[in-house]
Each structure stands twice: as C-alpha cells, then as structure tokens.
Structure 1
Amino acid sequence: MAPQLKVNGTVGPKKAKAPVAAGKYYPADDVKTPLVNRKAKRNNAAKVRASITPGTVLILLAGRFRGKRVVALKVLESGLVLVSGPYKVNGVPLRRVSPAYVIATSTKVDVSSVDVASINDAYFARVKSSEEEEFFAGDAPKPAIVSDQRKADQKKVDAALLKAVDATPMLKAYLAARFTLSGNDKPHNMVF
C-alpha cells in the first residue's frame, strides 16, 4: 500500500511528481514536422468596394489597357472584377482586373441583359502545353492564340452590351476616350 500523507488535514495517497520538462537541449532524434501546404488553404476573397457594382464604368489604372474606360460586368469568386470594353468600342476584351487598380465612376450602364453566368475564374485558366519546351529555345515567342470559344463569348457579350451603351447618348464616345491627366489637373479634387 502507498504511504499516506496528511494534506490540509485530510489523508490521501502520495502525489506523483510532475514529468520532467524537455530541458534546454535539442531532442536526440530528428522529429519530422509536416510541411505547410499553401494550396490546400483557401484564402477568402477580399471584399470589393461598394462603388464597384455590375454596370459601373471603371477606369483602369494599370496593365496593358491602363487609361481605358470599361464596364464592370460582375465580381468573381476570387474577388476580381470581370470587365469588358466593349471590344468594338475601345479594344478591351473580357478580362479580370483587381479592384485595387480601378477607379469607379458615377456613370452606370444597364447590364441586366448581358449574360455572363457561364464566365468564372476557371474560364481564364491557362492550358498547359503538352509538348516539352526547352528553357532557351531561341525561337521567336509564340503568339497568343484566342480560342473560338472566347471569340464567340466576346461577340455575345458585346452584342448585348452595345445595345445598352447605344441607349445612352454620348456613352460610346466616353468609353472610347482615354483617361489622362495633364500637369494642371488635381486628381485629389476630381469627382468621377
């Protein structure tokens, strides 16, 4: 039988000692820790500004089409905004842009007739080429090939969008004009 101790006036079994702490030395064996898988973790998309809604005319601030005015069609799951020029007006195709690189204007277009339900982030995924490429191939860069599916979708969206643009006077010329600043302009005082 275990020896009895008197603690606080009561009799009970002897208390066991606490386990020994790890100490200040490294463990003798290498302990494998699992690597962090960044792909498995899904980041939540950032909340888009309240001024960016479907039908809002946006000014692109960066990228190939900077300075162009485009129409916002919808906000995608990734937090990016789906926009179109329309292509016939200013040459901007269906593309995704980050809301951080746009200025929302007060001009609105009715895009209720434009069907973009089938366009999502996977629509813009790049297709990996099956042939193996050398790092230093020495050939001329391959031109970008636009698929027939994208051309058909662009025509379908542009047809509906151009009807809405033509319904508003001078909107077509506004979308075709580039946004620029001159030396005397004060952007912090401008109202878009």
Structure 2
Amino acid sequence: MSTPSAKTVPTGGKSKTTASGKSTTTTSGKKVVNSHSNRLLNGDGLMRFSRGRMFHRRALYRIGKWKDQQAKLKADKTKKTAGSIQKKNKRAPALKKKPIGGDRNGKERLVRTKRFPRFYPTEERPKKFSVKRKKFGDHPRRFRSSLSPGTVVILVAGKHAGKRVVVVKHLSSGLLLVTGPYKLNGVKLSRVNQIYVIATSTKLDVSAGKFDAYDDKFFKRVRPAKKDAEKDIFDSKKEKPKLSEERTQAQRTVDTIVLTAIKANADSRVLRRYLKSRFQLWNGVLPHKLKF
C-alpha cells in the first residue's frame, strides 16, 4: 500500500468529501459510487486502493498511449523522404499561366492544367462485378465408395423406381452410367444421379469391358428441326424421337459384357431372378434395419 495523495477524514454527518471536494452522498442520503475517486478504508488514514490500482481505474494508461500515437502520427506526416520530394516535384501544378491577346486583357491569365468535362452523363454506368466462384462444371466430382463399377444398385426415382440395375462406369458430369440389363428388367443404358440409388453389397466383375466411348457427349440429345407453326397448326401429334443405331449397338455391347459377368458368377441363376424382381417394402419391414 502506498500513501494517499490526499486524505479525507470523515465527520459526524452523512456526507463525505473527496480530495477534489465533491460529495459522495446525495441530499437524500444515497451513496454515489465514483470509480475515479479513492476512499478511506478506516480512520487510520489507510486508503482503499493503492496508487497503481487508481492508475488503472482512472485509465491514465490509455491517455498516455493515445498521446504517444498522436505524436507518432505527427512525426510521420512531417517526415519527408527523397521519394516523396521527387514525386512532389514531378507533380504538375493545378494552375498554369496562359498568354491572352489584347491591350486591356491583362496579357496573361491563370487557367486549370486539367480541364473539367463539359458534359456529365445523366445516369451512372453500372459496375461490373467479377465473380471468382467456380462454375458448376468446374466442381470436382465425388462418388460414394460403395458405387464402384459393377455394383448392383436399386433405383428409387423415375419410371423404373424399385428396379435393380448394374453400375457400368462413372461419368465426368457426376452421373452414373447404369444398365438393366435390358433383357432382364427392361432398363436401357442410361445416366442416373447417384442420390437416386441405393447401393447393395452385390457386385459383378465388369473390368473386362471397355466403356471409354460412352461419355456425356455420347448421350447428348439431338433436337429436331423447328416446323412451320402456320402449316402444322392442326397437326397436334408429337413424334417420339427414335433411338439411333449407335445407341442400339452400344446397348447390345454393354449388355453382353454384363450378362457374361452374371453367367460367370457362382449364383448366376439366383442373380438373374434378383435383377428381374422389384424392391418393395411390406408392413412391418423397416428400411433402416435392412441390409442391402
């Protein structure tokens, strides 16, 4: 404890006075707490807070810190380097003298070095904001580890919902290339999103087949030519797009490889029946307890 800077001795009344002369009690007898003033602990002249504690309570360290910062800023502003002086010398003056003809015109006049524009646009041009986000096509494609080529999966959406199909390969677009085969359950060679399939533990060996030619471009739809609306106003029939010979041949090639893999399996007869049947849920069957 350090000695106080100013001692106050309490009198018999309710009000107390501090070193600054301000009262710490109101007329009604209510005590006013002042964090910037020190108080006596007892009648022996011992103060409640030390000098160091009062330094922090009055936040004098902040004042000192602020003064140092202001002094540093002032020194930086007045400091002149060789580079700043050189830039200032290179800077063109705002006004320049221009000679004026005529006897009564003063011979020269001060004009602006850089003139203001004569016309201003009525509307501001819209700012073009650059988007640094990647396009959806540039996003990396990730597949579930259970959806490897040759895995038997269950479709849960679309017109073939409930049917079991075989995964042929992963496509760069993030889709799965699947087939029925068509001979067993009527599912053609098509692309399916992996969120619409349930992976099973059944797997076939289709590593012998080469499916590099079947990518997203191979399945791109060919749009028919637009017809004249005036001539065909009463023709309401829509022609179904026919499957190309290339797609038909691809279906045969892929199905041959998959059927060969099924035949090579130890339980080929059971596997054929498994692929032909639909997945269904009955009363009392809980899907979260099933093992696929």
Superposed CA deviations along residues 1-38 of structure 1, whole A, max 9, x for unmatched, are xxxxxx42955489x9xxxxxxxxxx95231345999x
Seq. identity, %: 39
Once the two structures are TM-superposed, the CA of residue 112 in structure 1 deviates from its matched residue by: 1.0
Task: Say which structure, 1 or 2, has more relative contact order (CA 8 Å, 6+ apart).
Answer: 1
Q: Name the SS of the counterpart of 2:254 in structure 1.
A: helix
Once the two structures are TM-superposed, the CA of residue 107 in structure 1 deviates from its matched residue by: 0.2
Aligned pairs for 1:16-95 (under 5 A) are 29-34=123-128, 41=135, 42-95=137-190
For 1:152 and 1:92, locate their aligned partners in 2 and report how far apart those are by CA, in whole Å: 15
For 1:33 and 1:128, locate their aligned partners in 2 and report how far apart those are by CA, in whole Å: 38
CA-atom RMSD in angstroms: 2.8
Residue 287 of structure 2 aligns to which amino acid in structure 1?
P
Once the two structures are TM-superposed, the CA of residue 45 in structure 1 deviates from its matched residue by: 4.5
CA contact (8 A) 2:152 2:202 kept: yes
Residue 103 of structure 1 aligns to which amino acid in structure 2?
I
Q: Name the SS of the counterpart of 2:248 in structure 1.
A: helix
For 2:129 and 2:275, locate their aligned partners in 1 and report how far apart those are by CA, in whole Å: 49
Residue 172 of structure 1 aligns to which amino acid in structure 2?
R
For 1:85 and 1:77, locate their aligned partners in 2 and report how far apart those are by CA, in whole Å: 21
Once the two structures are TM-superposed, the CA of residue 144 in structure 1 deviates from its matched residue by: 3.0
Once the two structures are TM-superposed, the CA of residue 133 in structure 1 deviates from its matched residue by: 6.0
The 1:29/1:46 distance shift into structure 2, 3 A limit, reads same
Q: Name the SS of the counterpart of 2:153 in structure 1.
A: strand
Q: Name the SS of the counterpart of 1:159 in structure 2.
A: helix
Q: Which residue of 2 aligns with 1:8?
A: 75
CA contact (8 A) 1:45 1:78 kept: no
CA contact (8 A) 1:73 1:84 kept: yes
Aligned pairs for 1:1-192 (under 5 A) are 7-8=74-75, 12=80, 29-34=123-128, 41=135, 42-132=137-227, 134=229, 139-168=236-265, 169=267, 170-192=270-292
When you count helix as a share of all residues, which structure comes out higher? 2
The 1:112/1:137 distance shift into structure 2, 3 A limit, reads farther
TM-score, normalised with respect to structure 1: 0.79
Q: Name the SS of the counterpart of 2:173 in structure 1.
A: coil
Q: Name the SS of the counterpart of 2:125 in structure 1.
A: coil
Residue 158 of structure 1 aligns to which amino acid in structure 2?
D
Q: Name the SS of the counterpart of 2:174 in structure 1.
A: coil
CA contact (8 A) 2:181 2:259 kept: yes
For 2:139 and 2:227, locate their aligned partners in 1 and report how far apart those are by CA, in whole Å: 35
Where structure 1 has 5 or more consecutive residues not aligned to the other structure, the ranges are 1-6, 17-26
CA contact (8 A) 2:174 2:193 kept: yes
For 1:174 and 1:161, locate their aligned partners in 2 and report how far apart those are by CA, in whole Å: 14
Q: Which residue of 1 aligns with 2:113?
A: none
Where does structure 1 differ by over 6 angstroms across 4 or more consecutive aligned residues? Answer: none
Q: Name the SS of the counterpart of 1:58 in structure 2.
A: strand
For 1:108 and 1:116, locate their aligned partners in 2 and report how far apart those are by CA, in whole Å: 18
When you count strand as a share of all residues, which structure comes out higher? 1
Once the two structures are TM-superposed, the CA of residue 152 in structure 1 deviates from its matched residue by: 0.6
